[in-house]
């Protein structure tokens, strides 16, 4: 059933970049946390060929991330579409007004949220921006985290190099700690991102419009003059309830376990002298960290599933266009 919520939000290039970036980040998480929690995630260490293999995978994925970031920066600067997209994500006066009104709404001093922040709350797609100030904030947060992770990762590529650069082991350790803590912070963002975009009742189990380029998604539907986005016409999946509760609980457990584990596991990302007790052999902590890894793995699976849906959509669209062309030529011959 078509609604205004079906409209695509990415170009074909952005869709491809989003897929490659997500896959690369997942590999960085799997390899990075295998290094960080090598006791709790011993099975992942074995799958990657031991510590040497894990390091190789992490560095290879890191090089891939640098390549993707460099490509994207060049694309943003050298192409009309890139420059246009960059202008769209810059904060505007309307974003500031929306943020202030949302704060007032939370404090009970406004009757409703600003339209810039409620794309799915009973408005037409044309009446609210495709990218709200919240979406812009997410873009800037992820961009900042990826930049800092890349810089710190390059600096600690070789611990010897960092020590010689900063002359002290303390400085080198600081970069390792900084890199690890950034990874923990980004892990929380990625987990919430997976949960938000895969388990929204209107999109479950994947937000298809993030995978199908907007050039291949119709920008109009029947009853396009409706008063709302059409979200009320959707039927909730019968699996959504239990799936949302389970994955929501797993997300919280995974985040808390990784945060606690980062304190207990000495040296990385938090120095041993900050440890508050316990240890990596704790059974509950081991289960919790593995649950967090499961959520990441689920995100990667859903990412691949979204791309499979895109392939199926493209095949169906090609078949439909072929039939339309055939019918059209047949009609002309009859005339």
Query: d(Cα 219, Cα 205) in Å, to the nearest integer?
Result: 22
Give the phi and the psi of residue 241 in degrees, each rounded to 5.
-60, -60
Task: Mean pLDDT check: name the lowest of 115-119, 209-213, 288-292.
Answer: 115-119
Domain assignment present for 88: yes
* 259, burial (CB in 10 Å: exposed 0-12, middle 13-18, buried 19+): middle
**316 φ/ψ angles, rounded to the nearest 5 degrees:** -65, -40
Instruction: Report how far Cα 217 is from the mean position of its chain's Cα atoms.
Output: 22
Q: Token digits for 328?
A: 């059209």
Please, what is the Cα angle at 278 between 252 and 53, to 5 degrees? 75
pLDDT grade for 289, boundaries at 50, 70 and 90? very high
Residues 6+ apart with CB under 8 A from 155: 161, 162, 165, 175
Q: Which residue has the higher pLDDT, 45 or 114?
A: 45
Residue 261 placed within a domain: yes
> pLDDT at residue 295 above 90?
yes
Does residue 128 belong to any structural domain of this protein?
no
Residue 122 lies in a domain: no
pLDDT band for position 269 (cuts 50, 70, 90): low
Indicate if the pLDDT at residue 274 is higher than 60.
no
Window from 45-59, 110-124, 181-195, 276-290 with minimum mean pLDDT: 110-124
Angle (CA) 204-244-193 rounded to 5° is 70
Structure tokens that stand for 76 in this block: 């943003």
pLDDT higher than threshold 90 for residue 275: no
Domain assignment present for 140: no
Domain count, the chain: 1
Q: Do the Cβ atoms of 156 and 179 come closer than 8 Å?
A: yes
**Cβ–Cβ < 8 Å for 125, 225:** no
For range 291-305, the mean pLDDT: 93
Q: Read off the pLDDT band of 142 (50, 70, 90).
A: confident
- For the ranges 24-38, 218-232, 252-266, the maximum mean pLDDT occurs at 24-38
Contact 36, 262 (CB under 8 A): yes
**pLDDT for 36:** 84
* Domain extent at residue 65: 4-92+155-322
- Decide if 328 is inside a domain: no
- Three-class DSSP category at 147: helix
Tell me the DSSP string of 260-291. HHHHHSSSSSS-GGG--S--TT-HHHHHHHHH
Better pLDDT: 213 or 168: 213
Q: What is the mean pLDDT of residues 8-13?
A: 72
Band of residue 261 on the pLDDT scale cut at 50, 70, 90: confident
Instruction: Look over the chain and give the mean of its residue pLDDT values, rounded to a whole number.
Output: 78
Most confident of the following: 83-87, 88-92, 255-259, 292-296: 292-296
pTM of the model: 0.79
Note the pLDDT of residue 249: 95
Lowest-confidence range among 1-10, 85-94, 263-272, 282-291?
A: 1-10
pLDDT at 56 over 70: yes
Question: Would you report the helix, strand and coil content of the chain in percent, each value rounded to 5?
Answer: 75, 0, 25
Calpha distance 116→111 (Å, rounded)? 15
Our CA angle for 166, 143, 199, nearest 5°, is: 130
In a domain, 312, yes or no: yes
Which pLDDT does position 250 carry in this prediction? 95
- Asked if residue 74 belongs to a domain, the reply is yes
Confidence at residue 222, expressed as pLDDT on a 0 to 100 scale: 53
What's residue 297's pLDDT? Answer: 94
The predicted model gives 294-310 an average pLDDT of 91
Residue 111, helix vs strand vs coil: coil
């Amino acid at each position: 059933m078509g609604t205004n919520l079906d409209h695509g939000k990415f170009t074909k290039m952005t869709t491809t970049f989003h897929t490659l970036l997500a896959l690369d980040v997942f590999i960085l998480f799997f390899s990075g946390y295998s290094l960080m929690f090598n006791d709790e995630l011993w099975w992942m260490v074995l799958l990657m060929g031991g510590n040497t293999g894990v390091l190789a995978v992490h560095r290879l994925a890191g090089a891939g991330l640098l390549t993707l970031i460099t490509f994207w920066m060049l694309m943003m600067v050298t192409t009309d579409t890139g420059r246009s997209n960059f202008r769209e994500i810059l904060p505007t006066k309307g974003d500031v007004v929306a943020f202030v009104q949302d704060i007032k709404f939370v404090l009970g001093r406004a009757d409703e949220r600003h339209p810039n922040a409620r794309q799915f709350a009973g408005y037409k797609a044309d009446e609210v921006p495709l990218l709200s100030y919240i979406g812009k904030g997410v873009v800037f947060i992820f961009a900042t985290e990826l930049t800092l992770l890349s810089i710190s990762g390059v600096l600690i590529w070789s611990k010897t190099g960092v020590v010689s650069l900063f002359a002290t082991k303390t400085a080198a350790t600081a970069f390792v700690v900084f890199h690890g803590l950034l990874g923990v912070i980004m892990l929380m963002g990625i987990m919430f991102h997976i949960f938000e975009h895969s388990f929204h009742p209107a999109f479950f189990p994947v937000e298809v419009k993030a995978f199908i380029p907007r050039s291949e998604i119709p920008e109009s539907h029947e009853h396009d003059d409706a008063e709302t986005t059409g979200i009320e016409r959707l039927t909730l999946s019968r699996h959504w309830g239990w799936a949302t509760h389970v994955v929501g609980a797993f997300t919280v457990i995974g985040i808390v376990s990784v945060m606690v584990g980062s304190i207990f596991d000495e040296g990385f990302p938090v120095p041993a002298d900050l440890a508050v007790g316990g240890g990596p052999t704790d059974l509950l902590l081991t289960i919790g960290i593995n649950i967090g890894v499961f959520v990441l793995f689920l995100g990667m699976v859903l990412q691949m599933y979204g791309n499979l849906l895109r392939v199926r959509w493209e095949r169906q669209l090609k078949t439909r266009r072929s039939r339309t062309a055939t019918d059209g030529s047949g009609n002309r011959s009859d005339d």
